[in-house]
Amino acid sequence: MTVSNQNAEFNKFAAHAESWWHKDGAMRPLHDINGPRTDYIDQRARVAGKQILDVGCGGGLLAEELARRGAHVTGIDGSQAMIDAARAHAADSGLAIDYRCIQTRDLVPEAKGAYDIVVCYEMLEHVDEPGYVIDDCAALCDLNGHLFFSTINRSPLAWAVAIGGAEYLLGLLPRGTHEYAKLIRPSELARWVREAGFEPLELTAMHYNPLTRGVHFGGRPRVNYFLHAGRRGV
């Protein structure tokens, strides 16, 4: 595997830290899908009262929505700029969220099995070794807990839609947000989840219409997709 500069990935997003919460800014698609992607979790593992870890939390969009629904949320990210932005917005919103600038591998020794739900959305396609991150997410999850992942398929159609269309044609995301080689086939994600001791319970596509800003789930995971997993044998 060709290893990239992981700090460069952090910097891609840190550059938008100050505008992360602008609903019509560079992160507009994340704002549009935030409610539906939170519903996806809440409908499968009720979040109220749960200990939830948001891996790769960015500026805190998902973490805040989970907290508003009654979850006890910890958000982690490798970018201090993003953590600072998340903390500032949570304070302004009156939400108590534990934000930390730490990697999953460093969190495991102190928080193994500590979370009822571990979520890793729109993050795996930005790391060099996604299988390691999945292992960590599994280790951080309670014996009866749930894992939720979302990412982008590595296929010609996904390149055309998620990179060519979203970044270069429509300008929905900053150019260079995604690298095709880092996109993840559903079979790869499912295999890594199984190797981590979990069993995929559902794998489904997410469809986003940038014109209506609407979202729905279902069908083959041809571009954007979500995976929900539970621990094997439990």
Summarised one tens digit per residue, pLDDT across range 91-104 is: 999 999 999 999 99
pLDDT at 177 over 50: yes
Most confident residue range from 15-19, 171-175, 206-210? 206-210
pLDDT at 124 over 90: yes
3-class DSSP assignment, residue 120: strand
With a pLDDT cut of 70, the percent of the chain lying above it is: 91
Q: How far is CA 12 from CA 17, 81, 178, in A?
A: 10, 11, 10
pTM score, whole prediction: 0.91
Weakest mean pLDDT among 21-30, 72-81, 115-124, 188-197: 21-30
Name the pLDDT band for 164 (thresholds 50, 70, 90): confident
Question: All domains of the chain, ordered by start, with CATH?
Answer: 6-231 (3.40.50.150)
Q: How far apart are CA 203 and CA 197, in angstroms?
A: 17
Summarised one tens digit per residue, pLDDT across range 193-215 is: 999 999 999 999 999 888 899 99
Q: How far apart are CA 55 and CA 149, in angstroms?
A: 10
What local confidence, expressed as pLDDT, does residue 206 receive? 96
Residue 148 and residue 120 in contact, taking contact as beta carbons nearer than 8 Å: yes
- Which long-range CB contacts under 8 A does 70-73 form with residues at least 24 apart? 71/47, 71/117, 73/97, 73/98
Residue 141 and residue 118 in contact, taking contact as beta carbons nearer than 8 Å: yes
What local confidence, expressed as pLDDT, does residue 108 receive? 98
Name the pLDDT band for 44 (thresholds 50, 70, 90): very high
The 8-class DSSP code of residue 127 comes to S
Residue burial 72-109, b: 16+ Cβ < 10 Å; e: rest: bbbbbbbbebbbbbbbbbbeeeebebebebebbeebbe
Strand 198-209 and strand 214-217: pairing?
A: antiparallel
